[in-house]
Amino acid sequence: MKQVFKKPESLKDVQTHFCPGCHHGTIHRLVAEAMDEFGVQQHTIGVASVGCSVFLYGYFDIDVVESPHGRAAAVATGVKRAKPDSFVFTYQGDGDLAAIGTAEIIHAANRGEDITVIFVNNTTYGMTGGQMAPTTLLGQRTSTSPYGRNKSKDGAPIRMAELLSQLEGVAFSARVAVDSPRNLMDAKKQIKKAFRYQVEGKGFSFIEALSACPTNWGMNPLSANARVGAEMCDYFKPGVYKNVENL
């Protein structure tokens, strides 16, 4: 018998701290598989953010720079410029990238830095107790929007994949979901494409991955997973928003 599915080499064989049903683990695995496929593990430098994603230095078998509070894209710029032969990616949540680090991500994207950004959107600040994020859906109750997000007071959720796709420096921008086997296979394909663009030196590549946060949504893992496919995919439509190869 042949082993047809195993843990990717770029992932350490350790238990993660993620809650049951959290998609961070799945997205970690897809990123590790892409690293294995391109054989870049030995010269990859990951840039971690703040939030639940911060512990990726403990889960990926690569070198990692820890860059809290939204600065990952700026730190990744420095890493890539200092070591242009290395493969550099950032892994950031929505509180980190779309709120605290908006300036950093927009300017790194606009400069067309040759890095890959993995943006995990779970519509809330996971680690700090489920506060409202810029990506929180309208009507969603969080610890700082107990009556639900209100459009007139809080604005509408930010669609980062679309926003960044308008910038000249962006080579690839896509949104994916990992809630079903079909979406997951597509996510795998898009993450590999984003990695290939950096390997080929095409420029800034961006992946927004929709993720569940069962604990802070107050749901069980299966209902939270279903919400990603229903409510989240309805507002944050998965798809490729920019691809320089098609221009």
Partner 1 sequence: MALIRIDELRCKGCGLCTIACPHKLIVLSDKINHQGYTPAHITLQDKCIGCALCAEMCPDVAIVVFK
Binding site for partner 1 (CB under 8 A): 1-7, 11, 15-16, 18-26, 29, 180-181, 184-185, 214, 221-222, 225
> CA 64, CA 41: separation in Å to the nearest integer?
11
Could you tell me the smallest distance in angstroms from the CB atom of residue 97 to partner 1?
21
C-alpha span between 145 and 46 (Å, rounded): 33
Cβ neighbors of 70 (< 8 A, separation 6 or more) are 49, 50, 92, 96, 97, 99, 100, 101, 102, 103, 104, 105
Residue for token pair 């195993």? 6
Q: How far is the CB of 21 from partner 1 (least distance, A)?
A: 4
Give min distance, CB of 201 to partner 1, in A. Answer: 30
Closest CB to partner 1 among residues 23, 175: 23
Q: Looking at beta carbons only, is 11 or 97 nearer to partner 1?
A: 11
- Shortest distance in whole angstroms from residue 93 CB to partner 1: 15
CA–CA separation, 10 and 148 (whole Å): 40
Residue 24 Cβ vs partner 1, minimum distance, rounded to whole Å: 7
Residue 212 and residue 123: Cα distance in Å, rounded?
8
User: Which of 205, 227, 230, 207 is closest to 217 using CA atoms?
Assistant: 227
**C-beta of 190 vs 243, nearer to partner 1:** 190
CB of 214 to partner 1, least distance (A): 8
Chain Cα centroid distance, residue 182: 19
Structure tokens at 191: 């993450």
Which one, 27 or 170, has the nearer CB to partner 1?
27
Residue with smaller CB distance to partner 1, 2 or 153: 2
Closest CA to 173 of 144, 149, 153, 203: 203
> Using CA atoms, how far apart are residues 34 and 8, in angstroms rounded to an integer?
9
Of the two residues 138 and 219, which places its CB atom closer to partner 1 in the complex?
Answer: 219
